[in-house]
Every structure is written in C-alpha cells, then in structure tokens.
Amino acid sequence: MTEAQRTLTVTHRSHPAGPIVLHLDGELDYHTAPRLSRALDEITFSAGTDVILDVTELAYCDSTGLTVLISANQRAEAGGARFGIAGLSRDLRRVFTIVGLDQFFTLYASTEEAVEQLGR
C-alpha cells in the first residue's frame, strides 16, 4: 500500500455534554500519525477537560500510532485532563491487551459510555 492509499480522517467535535471528541476513521500508522498528532496539539489538556478518542472506525494501528496515543494520555495526565479511548474493535482490543495498554488507558465500549462515565 502506498502512502497515498493510507488514510486517516480525524474529526474534532465537542459533545453536547462537554467532552472533546476526536473521531478517527482509517489507519493510524507511521504515515498517518502526524495527522492525529496535529489534532491533539490543538487541544489544551487541562483540569476539567475531558478528551475522548472515538476509534470505532479505526481499522489499523501500528506502533507509531500507539506511541501517539500514549503521548496524548501522558499529556492529559500532566495537565489534569481526563482521557479515554472509545470503541476499540475486537482486533485492536486484543493488541491493546497483549501489550498491556488495556491497563494504561481508560477504555470504553462507546463514546456515549465514555461521556456518561466521565460525567459522573
């Protein structure tokens, strides 16, 4: 697959309940990770900020993508923000479990579950 064929769309929106939601669609890899990094750079991770990555439509994530996710989680923690990942596919959840990231990230079945849990 060429770089032009690799796609990642990052859609930034605010949920009516308050959290910032980044919806990822496509593949998160060496070639596309800078798109997510740029979107995350636009967010101020501070106390009272909730950030949810909706990965329901994420088809693939390599180690570069995982590194971007880990960095975002660390920035959130450092700034006092809450950060969660919602909608992992069965295959991606398996990868997260194998490498222990299911213990590192707060994972939610869906964006709505994340919003509900963060709102408590």
Query: Pseudo-torsion of CA 72, 77, 81, 85, nearest 10°?
Result: 50
Confidence of residue 119 (pLDDT cuts 50, 70, 90): confident
pLDDT (tens digit per residue) in 72-101: 999 999 999 999 999 999 999 999 999 999
Q: What integer pLDDT is reported at residue 50 of this predicted model?
A: 95
Q: What integer pLDDT is reported at residue 16 of this predicted model?
A: 86
Enumerate domains of the chain plus CATH numbers: 3-118 (3.30.750.24)
pLDDT (tens digit per residue) in 4-17: 567 999 999 888 88
Which long-range contacts link 105-110 to residues 24+ away (Cβ below 8 Å)?
105/69, 105/73, 106/82, 108/52, 108/84, 110/56, 110/86
Q: What integer pLDDT is reported at residue 5 of this predicted model?
A: 62
Structure tokens at 22: 């980044």
Structure tokens at 108: 């939610």
pLDDT, greater one: 106 or 14:
106
**Does residue 2 contact residue 39 with C-beta atoms inside 8 Å?**
no
Overall average pLDDT of the 113-120 stretch: 89
